[in-house]
Amino acid sequence: MRAVFFINLIAIVTLAGALGRMYEGAPLPWTTHDVVVMPPAETSALATPQVQAEVPASPAPDARGSLRILTEGDYPPFNYRGPDGRLTGFDIELARALCERMKRDCRFETHGWASLVSLLQRGQGDAVVASMLIPSPAREALSRGEGIIFTQRYYSTPGHFAARKSGVSVAASAASLAGKRIAVQSGSIHEAFLKQHFPGVVIIGAASLDEAEKALTEARVDMLFADRNALLRWLKDGHEASCCQMVGVDYSNPEFFGAGVGIALRASDKGLRDEFDIALRALLDDGTYAAISRRYFGQNIR
C-alpha cells in the first residue's frame, strides 16, 4: 500500500510540474516544492498524508537526487504558513537556497515539533530544518537525540538588551547597569543569566516576552533583556521601533544560550552534513545568507 501511495504521489507531482510557481512576483529560483504531511496516526501505519497542491520548480539539469526536508511550519518568522498558505520563513528560504547551491531537488514536509527527530531517525526524512538548537554539554537541546548529528550553526541565539531611545544608551558592564530596572521573562534562561552576571540590577519578572516588551514600551522599566532575534523582529516590524532600540553587545555565553541552531541529520549521513556545510559557507561568502537574514531581522544573525 505504501509503494502504491508513493507511485501515485510521484505521478501527481510530475503532472503538477507543468504549472508555474511564483514567489513574491518572480519565478522561484531554486528547485524545491512544499508538501504538507499531517503527523502519522498512532493507530495506523497506513494513514495517508494530506498533500497541498503546490507546483514544484523544475529540477536543475544536474540535480543529484531529491531530499525530504522536515520542518514544523508553525514557528514564525523561521518557518510558517503565509497568508496564501505557502510555507515560508527564514529557515525555509535558507533551506531552499542551500538546496539550489547543492543542486538538489528538495521537498518540504511539515510535522508537529515533537515528531521531527523520531521521523528523521526512522528514515522518513533526510534533514530537519526547524530552528533546532545544537546540543551542548551545558544545554542538551534534544531528548531522544541518539544517532543525530548537526551541521555547523546557521544562526546564533545570544541574549541582548533593548532600551527606550530616550533612556539608557549602552549596556557596557554590570557596574554601569547597577540599580537599573530590567524586564525579563520569568523563569527564562535570560533571567538566570541576569542573576548570575548582573547581580546589581533590579529584575522585573514578566509572565511572557510580550509583557516584558510592553513594560519597556510603557517606560515602566529601564531596559529589557531577551533573545536577540526576538528583539530584532519586534523592533523591525512593530511601532515599537519608534520608541525603543537594541543597545550594547550580544551575550553569547553557550552555558545559557547554547551553541546556535543547526540542521539535524542522521549520524550515518556525514557526507550530506558536509554537503550542507559547504553550501552554507558559499551562501555566507556570496552574500545570499546576509540578504535572507536582513529580510526577516534587519541584520545578519549568523
- Beta bridge partners of residue 252, listed in sequence order: none
- Write out the three cell numbers for 204: 522585573
- Write out the three cell numbers for 154: 546557521
Please name which of 142, 138, 68, 143 lies closest in space to residue 110, comparing C-alpha atoms.
68
Give the β-pairing of 66-71 and 105-110: parallel
Contacts of 101 (CB under 8 A, 6+ apart): 279, 282, 283
| Residue 13 CB neighbour total at 10 angstroms | 17
Average pLDDT over residues 68-97: 97
The confidence score (pLDDT) of residue 166 equals 86
The confidence score (pLDDT) of residue 169 equals 66
The confidence score (pLDDT) of residue 146 equals 78
- Sheet (strand 74-75) strand order: 74-75, 79-81, 87-88
- For the CA atoms of 224, 225, 231, 232, the dihedral, rounded to the nearest 10 degrees, stands at 110
How much is the mean pLDDT over the chain?
Answer: 82
Percentage of residues of the chain with pLDDT beyond 70: 74
The confidence score (pLDDT) of residue 136 equals 79
Q: How many degrees, rounded to 5, is the angle at CA 120 between CA 118 and CA 121? A: 65
Per-residue pLDDT tens over the stretch 168-222? 766 667 888 999 999 999 999 999 999 999 999 999 999 999 999 999 999 999 9
Q: How many degrees, rounded to 5, is the angle at CA 272 between CA 266 and CA 275? A: 145
The confidence score (pLDDT) of residue 130 equals 98
The confidence score (pLDDT) of residue 242 equals 85
Average pLDDT over residues 254-268: 95
Q: How far apart are CA 165 and CA 170, in angstroms?
A: 11
The confidence score (pLDDT) of residue 21 equals 34
**Confidence category of residue 17, pLDDT binned at 50, 70, 90:** very low
The confidence score (pLDDT) of residue 13 equals 37
Q: Is the pLDDT of residue 293 over 70?
A: yes
Q: Bigger pLDDT: 51 or 139?
A: 139
Lowest mean pLDDT among 9-23, 66-80, 95-109, 183-197: 9-23
**Confidence category of residue 33, pLDDT binned at 50, 70, 90:** very low
**Confidence category of residue 283, pLDDT binned at 50, 70, 90:** very high
Per-residue pLDDT tens over the stretch 116-148? 999 999 999 999 999 999 987 655 555 456 799
| Residue 123 CB neighbour total at 10 angstroms | 10
Give the β-pairing of 202-206 and 181-185: parallel
Secondary structure in 3-state letters for 152-183? CCCECCCEEEEEECCCCCCCCCCCCCCCCEEE
**Confidence category of residue 53, pLDDT binned at 50, 70, 90:** very low
Q: How far apart are CA 32 and CA 63, in angstroms?
A: 11
The strand ranges marked E within 228-271 are 244-251, 261-266
Q: How far apart are CA 168 and CA 30, in angstroms?
A: 45
Q: How far apart are CA 31 and CA 60, in angstroms?
A: 7
The confidence score (pLDDT) of residue 5 equals 42
The confidence score (pLDDT) of residue 282 equals 98
- Beta bridge partners of residue 67, listed in sequence order: 106
Lowest mean pLDDT among 40-44, 98-102, 183-187, 235-239: 40-44
Q: Is 21 left (phi over 0), alpha (psi -120 to 50) or beta?
A: beta
Question: What is the per-residue burial (b if ≥16 Cβ within 10 Å, else e) of 100-111?
Answer: bbbbbbbbbbbb
